[in-house]
Chains A and B, each alone.
Chain A
């Protein structure tokens, strides 16, 4: 069983937690996420031009790059995480240019070597799959695709073709960390997606509080939280880990028990 399969086979929905590599004490924050109960980790690959991100994650990208974070540093962080946490799935999330600059094959091989389970590339839609998809699949790394409120029924099969690991539903047409989608629209979308795929469906964008997360967790297989963690790291800098762990725990508790309460 893959790490993703194991994480989503747990008897409760998954907390998928995002932080940006190189922003704050990343190793300590990753440990805090795991200790607090995160089920899947998304590690943001910093980029100068994060076009799909709101102000919080934009600033995290620039803080990381200002400290000199390189792609080599990113893979070192990922490999060390894998050493410390053999079972927690690790996803790299970022933009096409840093992922493809040395070629998709190089990137996929580095992911495999570092123990990365999956990759989310914001600006490689299904139409540009040859850029990364074949290389990742050949290296045994899952390509996690994004579905959005604008992904219509005609398009969904193209999005799902070649997708693996899990499906990430971007619940708002917009950027990260901004407004939250209406619960009803999320429920409709998740139902539509789950009818079309056996992949677990995680829902993200604009999810900031345990209450919001719990609502979504009643219908989804996972809930992605990012900007709220980034805000904590921005506030506490290199001493953020205890705060990250405490917030993770409140989110995890809310998400993990969401279906029991609903039942």
Chain B
């Protein structure tokens, strides 16, 4: 555990110069990639200091993505639960239907700065793949998406979307043929094509500086939410809730609030069939280890072999979590709670009926946690839930789980 007596005055200054958040993070990559990682870091630092980079990022977020996304007061859900007021941060209304696009815009601008001419990415449910293929189309760059063969089979609409957008979709046949294996294959491809290829990682994981730069690009969520809640309620919220797979939407909402001690923060892990069964809750059921370029909590056995994750939500179906979340967990700043497939499925339907918003199954996990927490708080309290994506992509999975043939 991190020595809490030596915590910095601000929790927003990480990572350190070696890319570590406490003991987590780092750059655990093959030597072939190391020079590229260092080059990416140099370019990212230069971009951060360049007002033109921020101006182009902001322009695209406003005019292409459609930001700012609304902060919606979910009045009927609030009444139904009978406790704290619930606001939804509507990332589902972004172009391509989720928060993923924020990060893709930032990274493709970096790719352009670095003179890279090809884009690759991994994807699980296909949301990050679609977002990556979208920005690649916008910038006219060839794009290859690595996707586990199992996910290709169960996410056909997104596979077709990516192809329409001009991307090549590689069905990965190794391992369990899901997100973890797609990431392995993307890393293998990258190592063989480092000279011209930019890897757009979809979450706050991977080797430094990815967890930092993805967080920075996604922090627009929390920056907006902060301004919006101050406008609506003239004060900060009492609780933030967001779903956590790798954790990019969550860190994006959380990060601008980390130094506000009166704001409680809850990350929601996918507990799948339950923590004693198959699940994807790396913090609740894993321990620290090294995978995909960073040290973080991982689902693994006693020999350090990675075990398969399970969640009804393909976007949460990953055996790890971003390193900054592991750190925030260990220092106790963020509380991480598990939500099962069944709970998420119930909340998916409840939000759809009460608010007319079909949330992504990922986001439904956060709604389920809000249902648990809101009734325990007074009506004067405020909760912001990150509605990280829309659920259109999940209707087949939900129909299947409900025994409905489409």
Contact = CB atoms under 8 A, between A and B. Distances in A.
A123 B26 contact: no
Given A128-B28, A148-B31, A170-B31, A101 B302 contact: yes
A109 interface: no
Contact of A70 (B187, B303, B306): B303
Nearest to A65: B305
Contacts of A131: 28, 290
Given A175-B188, A175-B192, 4 more contacts: A97-B298, A101-B304, A124-B28, A127-B27
B27 A128 contact: yes
Nearest to B302: A101
B188 A127 contact: no
B300 A173 contact: no
A62 B35 contact: no
B30 A98 contact: no
Contact of B192 (A49, A50, A95, A173): A173
A151 interface: yes
A125 B18 CA distance: 12
A47 B305 contact: yes
27 contacts: A48-B175, A48-B306, A49-B175, A49-B291, A49-B306, A70-B303, A97-B300, A98-B305, A99-B304, A101-B289, A101-B302, A101-B304, A122-B30, A123-B30, A125-B27, A125-B30, A128-B26, A131-B290, A147-B31, A148-B30, A159-B31, A170-B31, A173-B32, A173-B193, A174-B188, A175-B191, A178-B192
Give the secondary structure class of A's interface.
Answer: loop
Nearest to B195: A173
Contacts of B29: 123, 125
A148 to B, nearest CB: 4
A183 interface: no
B36 to A, nearest CB: 7
B191 A173 contact: yes
B184 interface: yes
B161 interface: no
A51 B27 contact: no
Interface string A14-55: 000000000000000000000000000000000111111111
Give the secondary structure class of B's interface.
Answer: mixed
Interface in B183-227: 184, 187-188, 191-195
A158 to B, nearest CB: 9
A44 to B, nearest CB: 14
A239 B174 CA distance: 26
A209 interface: no
B175 A101 contact: no
B194 A155 contact: no
A159 B31 CA distance: 9
Contacts of B163: none
Contacts of A175: 188, 191-192
The size bracket of the interface on B is 35 or more
A128 B35 CA distance: 14
A90 B298 CA distance: 30
B300 to A, nearest CB: 7
Interface residues of A, number: 45
A185 interface: no
Given A97-B300, A97-B304, A51 B26 contact: no
A53 B184 CA distance: 10
A192 to B, nearest CB: 15
Greatest chain B CB density within 10 A among A49, A62, A65, A159 is at A49
Contacts of A47: 304-305
Contacts of B298: 97
Contacts of A199: none
Contacts of B193: 173
Nearest to B305: A48
Contacts of A50: 184
B121 to A, nearest CB: 16
Greatest chain A CB density within 10 A among B29, B32, B192 is at B32
B34 interface: yes
A170 B31 CA distance: 9
B292 to A, nearest CB: 7
A95 B29 CA distance: 10
A98 B351 CA distance: 43
B35 A51 contact: no
Interface string A104-130: 000000000000000000111111100
A221 to B, nearest CB: 19
A52 B28 contact: no
Contacts of B26: 127-128
Which 6 A-B residue pairings sit nearest by Cβ, starting from the closest? A101-B304, A174-B192, A98-B304, A97-B304, A96-B290, A148-B32
Contacts of B191: 52, 173-175
Contact of B30 (A52, A55, A65, A99): A52
A205 to B, nearest CB: 10
A101 B303 contact: yes
B393 interface: no
Greatest chain A CB density within 10 A among B181, B184, B292 is at B184
